[in-house]
Chain A
Amino acid sequence: MSGFNKVVDSYADAMHGLQDGMTVIAGGFGLCGNAENLIVEIKRLGVKDLTVVSNNCGVTDFGLGILLESKQIKKMISSYVGENQTFMDQLLADELEVDLTPQGTLAEKMRAGGAGIPGFYTATGVGTEVSKGKEVRQFNGRDYILEEAITGDFAIVKAWKGDHYGNLVYRQTAQNFNPMAATAGKITVAEVEELVEPGELDPNFIHTPGIYVDRVIQGEFEKRIEFRTVTEEA
């Protein structure tokens, strides 16, 4: 591995350097667009006291939820606890620190973190518990609160296609938080469905340019569906 060839062959290499107490930013929305096997590798490594930044925390036995089960997470920064019972139980029992963050604010915190912008003002959360302890400033007669950017020691993202330069393309709503997460990690690891030859990805349609990505690994995905809703055939 040298120069622009960022492909690694093992999950151990993909997550090399992850240590206790680090912050991991994860792309994904629910179980959609999750770096499934990078999460499994974090579990295998057994690192503890992690701060995980992700919109959700998987379900009890899949996705980031498996790191809650193994009590490797000290703090979650998320917008939705939703359907994960373990998350809710650990939170109500004070076993887990949780910074509930509005979804748009969370996306913007990652984006700002990756773009070198330390903070931004937003109307989201004004007058709610989210605004507690935060600077309030008026613009054009309206109140806004100061929110700070987030960066991570690691970012883990999932893409549809990627090349060895680290250029990434996401598919449908599996894009979600992945592009912002990719920019905000000191070390960004991308797990892709298809590793393609250099030049195969049309430069017009790259979602994440390779500059943001440090390691690429091709994975096999289960792509579990949380709520399978269908229209009956006529």
Chain B
Amino acid sequence: MALSREQLAMRVAQELKDGYYVNLGIGIPTLVSNYVPEGIEVMLQSENGLLGMGPFPLESEIDADLINAGKQTVTAIKGASFFSSADSFAMIRGGHVDLTVLGAFEVDVHGNIASYMIPGKLIKGMGGAMDLVAGADNIIVTMTHASKHGESKLLPQCTLPLTGAACIKRVLTDLAFIEIKDGKFHLLERAPGVSVEEIQKLTAGELVVPDNVPEMDL
């Protein structure tokens, strides 16, 4: 079975370590905050100027001045700080964030990522994504492995305008956890009940499959 959005978030959450500062993109990455393992503490960075983002507010706590990068109302936890956009991106571009999780339309075997526009159809803008992929060392891309029509999103070469070049090393899809190195995809783990053949079939870029590919432990 392909992973649900929640299961993707659960698997990413296993990569969190005590004391990490983490930036979570909009969508699936945001869900990661619901699965922080017991006994560890992380600080979520929201690039609009908040370190120490908490859960959504109670109805009675809603404050228009306190939002996340997805423009949703949020709260601030104990130990939080507010700062300007320039300070926020100094943290990001200066390499101070320990883990960055973001979505994508496509990734390729060279570690390129495309996530901000589909020419002629959809222009969202890159927001902070170009800064995040250029500034972070430890990045996990979360995405579906293929489109609804079965077209692979893990390609030999991205077809859409790039968000960043040669910057992605790990991709978690609904089918597999994949490492990118030496111009190839390397299969690390597969979603429970998903076969290597199925992953192979939906991966357009060259995929290296080791003898043993463990199932994810969720």
Contacts and interface: CB of A to CB of B under 8 A. Distances in A.
Interface string B63-86: 111111111111010000011111
A91 B123 contact: yes
B71 A30 contact: yes
A176 B130 contact: no
Given A174-B65, A233-B58, A227 B73 contact: yes
Size class of the contact patch on chain A? 35 or more
Interface string B99-117: 0000000000000100011
A226 B89 contact: no
A107 B85 contact: yes
Given A29-B85, A31-B71, A231 B162 contact: no
Interface of B: 46-50, 55-59, 62-74, 76, 82-86, 88-89, 92-93, 112, 116-117, 120, 122-131, 134-135, 161-166
Given A81-B123, A127-B165, A230-B62, A102 B128 contact: yes
B58 A231 contact: yes
5 contacts: A32-B65, A81-B123, A108-B89, A176-B49, A226-B72
Contacts of B126: 79-80, 100, 102-103, 130
Residue in B68, B76, B92, B125 with the greatest tally of chain A CB atoms within 10 Å: B125
Nearest to A130: B130
A227 B72 contact: yes
- Majority-rule SS of A interface residues: loop
Given A80-B124, A233-B59, A128 B130 contact: yes
Nearest to B93: A104
A125 B58 contact: no
A73 to B, nearest CB: 16
B75 to A, nearest CB: 8
B163 A128 contact: yes
A173 B67 contact: yes
Contacts of B131: 102-105, 124
Contacts of B68: 173
Interface in A151-177: 160, 170-177
A80 B127 CA distance: 5
B58 A102 contact: no
Interface of A: 29-33, 55, 78-83, 88, 91-92, 100, 102-108, 110-111, 122-130, 160, 170-180, 207, 223-231, 233
Shortest 9 CB-CB contacts between residues of A and residues of B: A127-B165, A104-B89, A104-B131, A223-B64, A102-B130, A107-B85, A80-B125, A30-B71, A226-B71
- Majority-rule SS of B interface residues: loop
A102 B66 CA distance: 22
Given A173-B66, A229-B73, A108 B86 contact: yes
Given A130-B130, A231-B55, A32 B125 contact: no
A127 B164 contact: yes
Contact of B135 (A33, A124, A230): A124
Contacts of B84: 107, 175-180, 207
A79 B166 contact: no
A179 B63 CA distance: 21
B127 A103 contact: yes
A85 to B, nearest CB: 11
A179 B86 contact: yes
Contacts of A174: 64-65
Residue in B64, B92, B117 with the greatest tally of chain A CB atoms within 10 Å: B64
A154 B57 CA distance: 36
Contacts of A104: 47, 85, 88-89, 92-93, 128, 130-131, 135
A223 B62 CA distance: 12
B34 to A, nearest CB: 11
Contacts of B135: 104, 123-124
Given A107-B84, A176-B48, A228-B62, A125 B57 contact: no
Nearest to A105: B131
A213 B47 CA distance: 25
A110 B84 CA distance: 12
Contacts of A32: 48, 64-65, 67, 71
A107 B131 CA distance: 11
